[in-house]
Amino acid sequence: MTANEGFVTTDDGVRLFVQQMGSGGRTVVILNSTYMYEEFKYLAEDRTVIFYDLRNRGRSDSVNDGSKLRGGVHNDVDDLETIRRHFNLDSMDVIGHSYLGMVVGLYAMKHPSRANRVVQIGASAPDRRKQYPAHLTGADATMTEVNAKLAELQKEATFTEPQEFGRKMWALMRLLYVTDPADADKILWDVAHLPNESFTRLMANYNQYLLPSFQGMKLTDEDFARVKTPVLVVHGTSDRQCPYGGARDWAVRWPNARLVTIENAAHLAWIESPNKVFGSVKTFLDGAWPVAAELVTA
């Protein structure tokens, strides 16, 4: 099955790269096509799946006008609504991984009637300032070692050809995304040729725009209460990027949520437990809670 590709233009003129697959009556929108397409295209077997890249990411337009990035995570929420309107969807299922797990959550809060079912995989914690105890994070010796090597490598940035530097960075970074280093070779992302995915550009975007938008956010009980739609939270207990404690916070604060815990899995939980992750997501989108789903009460 091949995807139809094109662009959707936002209200402020940024073109978002889009891939559409399948023809089922149910529609799921998945953020970050560059990274999620290969893993989640299986969902197109019995539904319509729309993947798209964020502004200034992947194959979407590069954005050099700071006024179009200043909103940070809130731009991403608005762009998701742009996608919905473009495809004339009354409502849609949505899937977000990593900080985009927060984006789909914020979208459901802002547009509760438009989010049919929400999936958060390895999502950033609802309160990025919160410090979790060690057993609810994935901090370990590997994280310390890799971060030290990354710091050394960054000293070479100005002397190394950008694509080569990106490959070296990714060779180290991917070790943080899995628990077993041997599983790093299962991550087949190749983004060195995409200017938007260069390490320098990503870090500039994060530090200047995304991080301030996270820091200024304080979600209230009222924000969560307006979302009645079912939410599935999927998270690895050894996630180094987004602490497992954050997943438990999401699951306990949503009015109608369940948590699927992936033991000993890191940020890309589907690499180390594909059947449990992919099976749970499909079962949920088909209208039922997965067998492994836990109702979190505290």
Q: What is the pLDDT of residues 140-169, one digit of tens each?
A: 888 889 889 888 888 876 767 777 777 788
pLDDT at 262: 98
pLDDT at 199: 79
Over residues 201-238, the pLDDT tens digits come to 888 899 999 999 988 899 999 999 999 999 999 999 99
b/e map of 98-125 (b: 16 or more CB within 10 Å)? bbbbbbbbbbbbbbeebbbbbbbbbbbb
d(CA 40, CA 51): 9
| Number of neighbouring beta carbons within 10 Å of residue 45 | 12
DSSP 8-state symbol, 135: G
Do 26 and 3 meet the contact criterion of CB atoms below 8 Å apart?
no
* 192 pLDDT higher than 80: no
Closest CA to 268 of 179, 140, 152, 139: 179
pLDDT at 79: 98
* 198 pLDDT higher than 90: no
Give the Cα-Cα-Cα angle 214, 56, 35 (nearest 5 degrees). 85
pLDDT at 251: 98
Give the Cα-Cα-Cα angle 270, 47, 191 (nearest 5 degrees). 45
Structure tokens at 199: 């390490």
pLDDT at 215: 87
Over residues 58-113, the pLDDT tens digits come to 999 999 999 999 999 999 999 999 999 999 999 999 999 999 999 999 999 999 99
Q: What is the pTM of this model?
A: 0.95
* 296 pLDDT higher than 80: yes
Q: 3-class SS at 121?
A: strand
Place of tokens 């002397």: 159
Closest CA to 126 of 227, 248, 27: 248
Domains of the chain, with CATH numbers?
4-137+210-285 (3.40.50.1820)
Over residues 228-284, the pLDDT tens digits come to 999 999 999 999 999 999 999 999 999 999 999 999 999 999 999 999 999 999 999
Do 230 and 104 meet the contact criterion of CB atoms below 8 Å apart?
no
End-to-end CA distance of the chain: 43
Q: 3-class SS at 62?
A: coil
Do 262 and 236 meet the contact criterion of CB atoms below 8 Å apart?
yes
pLDDT at 21: 96
pLDDT at 119: 98
How would DSSP label each residue in 158-203?
GGS-HHHHHHHHHHHHGGGS-SSGGGGGG-----TT-GGG-HHHHH
Do 205 and 294 meet the contact criterion of CB atoms below 8 Å apart?
no
